[in-house]
Structure 1
Amino acid sequence: MTLILKNLPFILQGLTLTLALAVTTLFFSTIIAFLLGTLASLRFRWLRVVVKVYVELFRDIPLVVNIFFVFFVAPLFGLELSPFAAVTVGLSLWGGANGAEIVRGGFASVPQHQWASAAALGLKTWEIYAFVTGPQALRAILPPFVGLLTLLVQATSLGALVGVTEFFKVGQIIVERTTMMEGWNPAFAIYSAVLLIYFVICSALTWFGRWLERRLKSDLRRPASGVAAMPKPVTQLP
């Protein structure tokens, strides 16, 4: 405990960088996911094929290989990316691919008669997505998307492999520095603290996802406001 308190500013710095990496990755992953997921739900076959190739490519490549590829290959094309930027790009490409499949599935869950009715009313394509099918698809998209955020928080630890001083890397540095300078190995205490904090963050996100799913289901079962309930039949007494 003394060792943790002594290195608390360093630990908080690493935790802040981990959260910043997770938020940045989620931001770009969300943009990629909703853009590609929406394109995949359009009626143009060639668009669906392009999105499918992208999704399968980045979902089938191991995430650590994807990060290494961005970090080591980008400089060959004149893109000098910092470790933070390289990890952000690698995680965003992977998160966008998984998120695109979630968004596509969300739009596919909307009944076909909703699309047909909106088109029959003369709505434009963007109006159908924005005002008719989009709000309905969000009910199916949001819970698994929160789960994707949990995976992205866990995946930020891979940044330690390319030099990002995030939370897990900070733990490694403390263990190595203490072993070399003080002659004892604090690996159990430090990595237990790292494990506990990751568990708390990811458990909170998992709980939020389950709460959101229950809330959306209850809203779905609730009758719309302004709709009168059907009167119960009156039983005539003899």
Structure 2
Amino acid sequence: MNGTNLDIIGDYLPYLISGAGVTIRIVGTSIILSTILGYLVALARLSRIRVLRAVAATYVWVFRGMPLILSLFFFYYALPQFGPRLSAFTAGVVAMTLNSTSFFSEIIRSGLAAVPKGQVEAAYSVGMSPWQVARRVIYPQTLRLMLPPYINNCVIMLKESAQVAVITVPDLMFQAQKAYNATYRPLETLGVAGVLYLAITSALMLLQLIVEKRMSERKAPTVAISEEKVDA
């Protein structure tokens, strides 16, 4: 690589790093919101109320089958026709959150449904409160089952976040496109962007490997329920 190529990288690297920061912000915000909403949707899917189950199932069906880019276009370009106009960043967060919620809800629902009902009934039979049952019986086993696919879905979200560039969110992909349009040097501009994406996704995948290793080193959590008094 000659000096000119290195100069291009040096000139545009701050912009690419800034774009990477925007990518992390939009993905991080979407992960937090979609985890909260995904938990609520998962509870609705498991509810005994038929209407709640139907609404939640319809939501999951719609957004799991809808491409992210279509959601982005709708919330940024089509929604203003009905009144509210969102900024590019907000539209990106809303679209990614609603799409990802449908996937997170299924991960959480599967984890909750995998807890043996016998353990829950036994916990209630010895006097545990609903909060104690959740904290000591349901959540430990659910977390163990859902963490690997949960982190894997976070990695997928990070890669798919490059699509927010189409609605002018100044993320890493958007900055890489600007640098390429100004220099016509795809190797340097897009190559550095690829390295930055790889660094971020590698950190998440490393976290996934660490979690899976720790989980595999531990025995599956069991619930020891005795006739002794249950502490809060």
- For 2:56 and 2:151, locate their aligned partners in 1 and report how far apart those are by CA, in whole Å: 22
Mark the CA change 1:205 to 1:222 in structure 2 (over 3 Å): closer, same or farther: same
Summarize the alignment of residues 15-34 of structure 1 with structure 2, pairs less than 5 Å apart.
Answer: 15-34=20-39
Tell me how many residue pairs correspond in the alignment: 219
1:42 aligned onto 2:41: no
Offset at residue 79 of structure 1 (A): 1.3
CA distance in 1, matches of 2:109, 2:173: 33
Q: In the alignment, what sits opposite 1:194?
A: 193
Partner of 1:132: 137
Change (3 A) 1:128 1:41: farther
Q: Please report how far the alpha carbon of residue 49 of structure 1 lies from its aligned counterpart in structure 2 after TM superposition.
A: 2.0
Alignment equivalent of 2:19, drawn from 11, 14, 21? 14
Distance 2:102 2:166 in 1: 22
**In the aligned structure 1, how far is the partner of 2:211 from the partner of 2:23?**
24
Cα RMSD (Å) of the superposition? Answer: 2.1
Say if 2:140 and 2:221, in contact at 8 Å, map to a contact too: no
Amino acid at match of 2:193: V
- Once residues 163 and 137 of structure 1 are traced to their aligned partners in structure 2, the CA distance between those partners, rounded to angstroms, is 38
| Cα distance in structure 2, aligned partners of 1:74 and 1:148 | 27
How far the C-alpha of 1:115 sits from its partner, in A, is: 2.0
- What one-letter code is carried by the residue in structure 2 that aligns with 1:147? N
- Range 96-105 or range 146-155, more displaced: 146-155
1:169 is aligned to 2:168: no
Deviates more, 1:68-77 or 1:214-223: 214-223
Offset, 1:224: 9.6
In structure 1, the residue matched to 2:158 is 153
Structure 2: runs of 5+ lacking an equivalent: 1-5, 225-232
Where does residue 231 of structure 1 map in the other structure?
none
**What is the SS of the residue equivalent to 1:24?**
helix
User: What displacement does 1:211 show?
Assistant: 1.9
Kindly state the Cα deviation for residue 216 of structure 1 after the two structures are TM-superposed.
1.5
- Counterpart secondary structure, 2:91: helix
Taking a change above 3 Å as real, the CA distance of residues 96 and 214 of structure 1, as seen in their structure-2 partners, is same
So what's the TM-score if we normalise by structure 2?
0.87
**Alpha-carbon distance in structure 2 between the residues aligned to 1:49 and 1:224:** 33
In terms of Rg, which structure is larger? 1
Sequence identity percentage: 28
Structure 1 equivalent of residue 227 of structure 2: none
> Could you tell me how far 1:126 is from its partner in structure 2?
4.7
Residues 64/19 of structure 1: CA separation in 2 closer, same or farther (3 Å cut) = same
Q: CA deviation at 1:172?
A: 0.6
Q: Paired residue for 1:96, among 86, 97, 101?
A: 101
Deviations 1:133-173 (A, max 9, x none): 12211111111111111111112111110011110110110
Which blocks of at least 5 consecutive residues in structure 1 are unaligned?
179-184, 226-238
1:220 corresponds to which residue? 219
Q: Are the equivalent residues in 1 in contact too, given 2:137–2:223 (CA < 8 A)?
A: no
Q: Is the alpha carbon distance of 1:19 and 1:104 closer, same or farther for their aligned partners in structure 2, counting shifts above 3 Å? A: same
Shift of 1:210: 2.3
Q: CA deviation at 1:43?
A: 3.1
Partner letter of residue 215 of structure 2? L
One-letter code of the match for 2:218? D
For the pair 1:73 / 2:78, whether they are aligned, the reply is yes
